[in-house]
Chains A and B, each alone.
Chain A
Amino acid sequence: MNRPGWWRLDPCAPFALGPRTLPGRIWTASGCFGYGLHGHDIAAPDLATPYEGIGAVVTKTVTPQPRPGNPMPRLVELPFGAINSIGLENVGFAAFLRDVLPELEARGVPNVVSLAATRPAEFGTMAARLYEVGRGLRHWHGVELNLSCPNVAEGGHDFGSDPATVAACVAAARPHLPDRILVAKLTPNVAQIAPLAAAAAQAGCDAVAAINTVVGLDVDTASGRPVLPRRFGGYSGLAIQPIALAKVDEIVREVGVPVVGVGGIVDARDALKFFALGCVAVQVGTAQMRDPFAAARLAAELRR
């Protein structure tokens, strides 16, 4: 790909975001590169490791308690994307702090930890504990709040679709992360995303990540039933890129908070679209599942 004339950033150069300097602007999206530890045994002729040029791995979301996740099938492949219903399977916060975070540090993987909880206050508790354990770590750069899960305290509605709740979650975590970034990942499943971004910004986040997955459903025509046992899942991949671009544009123009673009970024040209709209960084999601080198190759192409 020929780089356009307006493109002047080195996506692999350190850049300041909130109170922290991040190693680069090409990140991998939460849930799409595991906890960031699965790439070390993989090599390619053109790149020594899948981590080359990656600014941050946003970890698979961690919850206060371990979760076994949803029954199979969990993935539906469609022509230009996929619907997932993994169910936030994860090892739980305690095991993550004990087993995963030190390993990320030891291997030098720049990381942002994705957290989910069932009550806003829990984000504060987790952020405080994470900072207690991680404050001395060089490669842990901060927290991304996954707000697309049911809020038990509010009757099971998504945290992410109500500006006041988004603000409460951000406000709960913010004081505990004095020199680490705090990113709120926003849902696109609302008519207007700008109020969510504004609420997160006012509550003190350093950036918003836009967008999380789009609610989707597929039907098995043979049985006449939804393919996924829980009917709905999160639609991701190239198909949602125009939705992501529209939501990013709405946030950039109406709110002005730094935006980390995510949604259907497969190659360098896709990433450029998000940077062109003003994103400070981008995340590679579904493409990273298919190709362990997706983000690294994208970064290499943009820095040439």
Chain B
Amino acid sequence: MSAQTPLHHCLDDNINAICEMFGHSDDLSVRLLDLPENPMALLFIGSLVDRQIVDEFVVNPLLQSGLGDASLQNGLPVATSRFKALASLEEAAERLLQGDTLILADSPAKAYSADTPGGEQRPISEPASESVVRGPKDSFTETIQINIGLIRKRLYTTDLRVINLNIGNTSHTPITVIYLQGIAREDIVTEVQNRLKRIDIDGILESQYIEEIIEDPHGYTPFPTIFSTERPDRVCAGLLEGRVAILTGGTPFALIVPSVLPMFLYSNEDYYQRFDVATFLKVLRTVTFVLSFTMPGFYVMLLTFHQEMIPTMLLIALAGQREGVPFGIAVEVTIMELTFEILREAGIRLPKTIGIAVSIVGGLVLGQAAVSAGLIGPGTVITVSLTAICSFSTPSYGIAIASRLIRFVLLFLSAVFGAFGFFCGIIFLIIHINKLRSFGVPYMSPIVPFHLRDWKDILVRFPWWAMTTRPHETAAPSARVRMRGKNKWNGDPEGSRPT
């Protein structure tokens, strides 16, 4: 921090100095209390404090006490929970910016800060991006204190460690690192803090800033290697697996590290439903994720190079549909894919009411018209729309975007080189994913390197009483056991069956 300026000896000088620091900003309120023996001044930033608290717990007690010299020695009669004497003007300014009220006293000149947090906050609402049918309905807000509370209210343990950092040379954004002592790997916790402390940036407005700065160095990748979520239960589940959460002030999206590929394919609702249903949905979602980037390429490859594989009747039907279509199949699919991407982009940015109109025009009119005008074969429309639905069923937005990019690459490869190009693309993709690491943990982690125990949570979900271990790569070696696995109710509380 910069050099500390001590307080001046006179009240007016102090007020002036602080006002000077803020450049006489109009939202810095100065309230002079003309107490008979001891003139005082209250300073606060109107938009950051709660006026009611200031009036009720700071101004009122001060005025009523009448305050003489003696009471100043015993401390001010201020009724807020955090109250602190300040030594320098810089410290005073910092407290002001955190939403505190400064109390400046004269003869001797002193400064105190009382916490009067306020300002507008969004109430806790349902998560917009990850909705569930069954499960907690709250989500993070933009206020970091509320977010920490949401986590604390789920994990009532002293092992929960909360580390506050301020990052951003101008914004001083509060960043909080949260982990469970004894479950998280120490080396990962230190690594997270080291990487965060190295950040040198003017401001952080969203956790994506942090994500891009601290992710592992692996060259270019479209895949997110840090998981972001706005659901506190998801963060807590991560913490219980030994992961580390990073909360960022000003955004409801928390980061979870280290994160692996399967995390992005599963919804937290998989853990709130019956395990057999959840297993089915997990398999389904994995398949749709793969389809969401392979399908257009596969379709083009089949129709361009490997017609012999298509059953004869289907081939005749497809060929019949495409009679009179002027474009090659690859061009056709590319046009439709691009159209779909444009539609999606247009739909997101528009107000909801117009968005519906866009989807009607785009989906119905364009698709239907293109087919009936003979520009596009119906098979292509089916393929493209199925791909779109598959990509919507991916629970994580970050990885769905990645699959959008990969889709076009695979499309190109299979249009030019056929099956060989397509499979080369897939092989390249697998090498690439294998290359990725998230805080040292391989991205494909329980799949390769192979950890059999973690497969209870890959593709299938075992019932909760069987989930006896924590992930091999993320949990500390001493904390691999989640539970003893004897808590399955066997109908007999005493442990011995009556004969």
The answer to whether A binds B is no
| Chain B residues at the A interface, C-beta cutoff of 8 Å | none
| Chain A residues at the B interface, C-beta cutoff of 8 Å | none
